[in-house]
Chains A and B, each alone.
Chain A
Amino acid sequence: MSYRLLIVDDSKLARMSAAKALNSLQPDWARLEASNADEALSLATQTAFDVALLDFNMPGRDGLELAAALLALRPSMPLAVVSANHQEEIVRRAREIGATFLVKPLNEQALGAFLEDAVRRLKQAQA
């Protein structure tokens, strides 16, 4: 079963890098991209996606605020906040919101584990 992943990052390079990792881990998945929180939220009202990968450090609303807004729309959606800034407060806030915290630069192993867990959760939700 293939799903749709939303990648939100203000860096085009970071989006391309995440896309490359996704292609090698889950080649059947489709992908949507946004470069900031507002764009992502506007996409969320227009089109469906199953999983989201959000950069923390973005101009405007940060990845944690975006995660909370997306979860308010779709409470069971698996999402991860990605940041090189692994301060306790940020990791804890991600957990409290219900997001997975992934360390940037993103490695395929960590992304793979998150996507597998996301698939498990999506299947459970469908069952």
Chain B
Amino acid sequence: MIAAQTDLLNELQLDALTELVNIGVSHAASSLREMVGSQVHLSVPNVSLETRSRAIAILSEREVSNLVAVHQVFEGDFTGRALLIFPETKSLELVRAITGGDLPLEDIIELEQEALAETGNILLNSCLATIANMLHRSLKMSLPEVLRGSAATFFNLAPPPEAGDVVMFLYINFAVRERDISGYIAMIMDLPSLTALTLLLDEFIERATGKTAHSIDDPA
């Protein structure tokens, strides 16, 4: 088994990143609640950094069916791609949950693309905007694009990265109207972008705690 790339971030940097993503996802839950008119539960139990090949392996092992993803590119001090990924079998379920579930199947199929793009747009923008705001930077986001395929398709989109890249991998639990849907958010960044992000996380940790990231010598 290839080890996760956790050594790229120290424990506190990973904690800070997890906290930022959780705040972003919580904001998204509030926005989605407005959209669907019913309480939305969203949580990110786990954030990890993986190599691209390992991210593909993890997704292919866990999800045997075809996948659907909402894809957006972000550009700024750090640049990369963000993807919200669900098994294709769950995507109609998600649309039913979002629209209320009383629509006939043909309408749901017709709405699927739009509902997925909008849900992805809210979730991904919320995560990236929270990260950007709290790191005191701005990120430019492309429009959402719905993709279908496998993990390998999503993680090998052209153009390929110039330097070795890393996938920040988040499991998300999504529940609305008694439907539980698990998915993933992946943020793919190259190593220079990850380095830039690491430095910004250190600055953020310093602002949040009043201590420099490297002066905090507590293994707990």
Contacts and interface: CB of A to CB of B under 8 A. Distances in A.
B79 interface: no
A87 B30 contact: yes
Given A12-B15, A57-B22, A87-B40, A17 B208 contact: yes
Chain B binding surface SS class:
helix
B168 interface: no
A84 interface: yes
Interface in A5-50: 11-14, 16-17, 19-20, 23
Given A13-B16, A105-B134, A20 B26 contact: no
A59 B209 contact: no
Contacts of A20: 208-210
Nearest to A23: B210
Interface in B199-220: 205, 208-211, 216, 220
Contacts of A121: none
A104 to B, nearest CB: 6
Contacts of B205: 13
B30 A13 contact: no
Contacts of A12: 11-12, 15, 220
Interface residues of A, number: 21
Contacts of A17: 208-209
Which of B16, B40, B45, B216 is the most central at the interface, judged by chain A CB atoms within 10 Å of its CB?
Answer: B16
Contacts of B211: 16
Contacts of B29: 85, 87
Interface of B: 11-12, 15-16, 18-19, 22-24, 26-27, 29-30, 33, 39-40, 42-43, 45, 130, 134, 205, 208-211, 216, 220
Closest 5 CB pairs of A and B: A84-B26, A85-B26, A16-B209, A17-B208, A84-B23
Interface of A: 11-14, 16-17, 19-20, 23, 57, 59, 83-90, 104-105
